[in-house]
Amino acid sequence: MPSKLSPQQDQQAIALIRGIAMDAPLAAKSGHQGTAMSLAPLAHVLYSRVMQHAPSNPQWVNRDRFILSNGHASILQYSMLYLNGYGLSLDDLREFRQWDSATPGHPEVGHTAGVEVTTGPLGQGFANAVGMAIAESHLRELHGASTVDHRTYVIVGDGCLMEGISHEAASLAGHLKLDHLIAVFDDNKITIDGSTDLTCSDDVPARFRSYGWNVIEAGEIGEDCDKIEHALLAARNNVGSPTLVVLRTHIGFPSPELTDKHEAHGNPFTAELVSSTKKVMGIPDEPFWAPDEVVNAYRTHSATRASEWMSSWSSKADSAARATLEAGNAIDEASVAASLPVFDESTNLATRQAFQKVLEATVNSVPNVLAGAADLTGNTGAKLPSTSGYSSSNPSGKQVYYGIREHAMGAAMVGMALHGGVIPVGGTFFVFADYMRPSIRLAALSKARCVFVFSHDSVGVGEDGPTHQPVEHLASLRAIPGLQVIRPADPNETAQAWLAAVAHNGPTAIILSRQNVPSLTKGESVQPGASVIHRSTAPVATIIATGSELGVAVDAAKKLGDENIQVNVVSMPSWDRFMKLTKKDRDTILPPTMPRVSVEAGTTFGWAAFATHSVGIDRFGASAPGNLVMDKLGINVPNVVSVTKAALAE
């Protein structure tokens, strides 16, 4: 590996990073410079001495992954991407936090080369890193260390570690002994409100040791590049556990006025404060100071290191494994479709049970699935039969046991998907989607191919009562842009939902029933989002249903037919897929000239976009047998018949 930059170049680079960390927020009149300033030496050492990364090939499959969990310090990462030659220019830095710039307020994956995950909501990036480390260890075991062998580095702050998700994720990582995961705790003892003494008395090193982590208390070395490197290399060489490096830093350093002050966190320095700090650093008092000789030397150094790493890897990596990894998560949709099970009309099965059969049937056509659940593996259908569990002693296993950690599971799945090489599937009860909502939202924002499996999808859960009976959750998930939401009505729609999920460029939520449902379709409604599955010769109304309520809708249509009232029944498993159709096609399925009655065991919120009248549940449920709760709350044939007649009368 090439020699390090000279001590003089080290100091010039750090000064350049700190200058940009002040200049960009000043230009934007918005941003967080204090943390970026104090972490400049750490970032410099990571990028120039420790991490294996390739600016000319940001998607190189064996690169180390870097995550800035405290994403408000984004200007730190942008400065490093600029210095290393990832394609950012000084003009991009000048456009920090501006419309359509490559340097948004928080790092966004897919928007800026070199950014691995979307961070900002504190703690999420840390849990993403755990997922990336899981994916790496699994792929390393499958393909061999000559092909897959890289670390995940994540910087976390006090805020990340206060958020509850960090406790779940750290506990899981320690249990799984993810020794290719290295977290650096920026221990600056400052939050927006003031000193951490206001809110927190945690012994962070003791906490992480209790989780089974290796902890390096590096102390006051934040300005010493050699000592930072020594600590990071010790972390990299640790075997058998993830490592937390506790690095004492001073927010806003070396500002004469705001070092160690909470005002340095989120208030852009004034021009006067920037000038006084640059004077201390000994650099010109000019905006975006970046001498060509400093930048060129840095980029040459970075490119040389990258070239040697990639050349060495190319000579050692298994060619077949390399091809598989570089193909990413590519799916042969025809092969998946051919492997899907087909359920005949006699099948009466809960869709959660059907989903498990679908996973088993497609294990060869979708071989890169890592399935798991939050202590509900058998209950949710998120189980790969005939496969072993993923663990520290068996990282090739394909079944991940997340424990009762929905927060961490959701965010880890996002990290796994963005790492590449695996498709994460994670299950829990639908009502607990609330625990995962921040991660689901970030999955959609990141276009991460995660498959969130939610079973026990309605008041049909029954005796567990309203705490466990989702009513508002479908509306809640449907409101998230970019999240594909599918609530299949029967086993065949469940099979097609899986095909739609693995073919989707982004996350999917599949909503499954606890109770058995009859097989009423061939799955034809999933691809377009909705289709007519019960057609009358001269319909005067349309009944629209999702999930387990399709059977109620069909029975209601038959009852109305007995009274010479002809209606069509539409199965509508996916609003978002339906809305991708042309208006003409939508109107063919749901003619706007006749009444349209929706039937769904959840809140009616949002149904006005498709239906003129709705049968739903705009209240919480109750504790009783599921079929009784459904009946008492109006999810029954007589009520659907009554509402349809009333709609026609109007």
Q: Is the dihedral of CA 232, 78, 208, 61 positive or negative?
A: negative
Tokens standing for residue 383: 């189980």
d(CA 408, CA 435) in angstroms, rounded, equals 9
Q: Which amino acid is at 586?
A: R
Architecture of domain 531-649 in this structure: 3-Layer(aba) Sandwich (3.40)
d(CA 41, CA 37) in angstroms, rounded, equals 9
Q: How far is CA 402 from the centre of its chain?
A: 15
pLDDT of residue 1: 46
- The SS3 call for residue 181 is strand
- The SS3 call for residue 200 is coil
pLDDT of residue 242: 99
How many other CB atoms are found less than 10 A from the CB of residue 227?
Answer: 17
pLDDT of residue 129: 99
pTM, rounded to two decimals = 0.97
Hunting for tokens 């404060």 — which residue is that? 273
Catalytic residue, candidates 95, 163, 168, 406: 406
In sequence order, what are the beta bridge partners of 510? 453, 486
Contact 291, 20 (CB under 8 A): no
Contact 221, 228 (CB under 8 A): yes
d(CA 97, CA 151) in angstroms, rounded, equals 30
The angle subtended at Cα 386 by Cα 511 and Cα 515, nearest 5°, is 30
d(CA 647, CA 456) in angstroms, rounded, equals 31
Domain ranges of the chain: 7-316, 333-518, 531-649
Over the stretch 36-90, which tens digit does the pLDDT of each residue have?
A: 999 999 999 999 999 999 999 999 999 999 999 999 999 999 999 999 999 999 9
What DSSP letter does each residue of 296-328 carry, written as one string?
HHHHHHHHHHHHHHHHHHHHHS-HHHHHHHHTT
d(CA 96, CA 134) in angstroms, rounded, equals 33
- The SS3 call for residue 344 is coil
Tell me whether the omega of the peptide bond preceding residue 254 falls within 30 degrees of 0, making it cis. yes
What DSSP letter does each residue of 251-269 carry, written as one string?
TTTT-TTTTT-THHHHSPP
Sites in the chain below the pLDDT cut of 70: 1-2
Tokens standing for residue 606: 């949002």
406-419 vs 164-176: helix crossing angle, rounded to 10:
70
Same fold, 7-316 and 531-649: yes
d(CA 154, CA 184) in angstroms, rounded, equals 6
Hunting for tokens 């994540």 — which residue is that? 154
pLDDT of residue 267: 86
Q: Is 132 left (phi over 0), alpha (psi -120 to 50) or beta?
A: alpha
d(CA 195, CA 189) in angstroms, rounded, equals 6
E-only strand ranges, 416-463: 423-429, 451-455
Over the stretch 294-345, which tens digit does the pLDDT of each residue have?
A: 999 999 999 999 999 999 999 999 999 999 999 888 899 999 999 999 999 9
Contact 390, 133 (CB under 8 A): no
Contact 10, 46 (CB under 8 A): no
pLDDT of residue 80: 98
How many other CB atoms are found less than 10 A from the CB of residue 584?
Answer: 7
Architecture of domain 7-316 in this structure: 3-Layer(aba) Sandwich (3.40)
- DSSP state, residue 390: P
What DSSP letter does each residue of 502-570 carry, written as one string?
HTSSS-EEEE--SSEEE----STTTTTS-EEEE--SS-SEEEEE-TTHHHHHHHHHHHHHHTT--EEEE
Tokens standing for residue 249: 């830093």
- DSSP state, residue 444: H
d(CA 590, CA 194) in angstroms, rounded, equals 57
pLDDT of residue 387: 82
Tokens standing for residue 592: 């706007």
For this structure, is 217 an active site residue?
no
Contact 241, 213 (CB under 8 A): yes
Architecture of domain 333-518 in this structure: 3-Layer(aba) Sandwich (3.40)
Residue 396: closest CA among 433, 370, 377 = 370
pLDDT of residue 3: 72
How many other CB atoms are found less than 10 A from the CB of residue 345?
Answer: 12
Q: Parallel, antiparallel, or unpaired for β 369-373 and 348-350?
A: unpaired
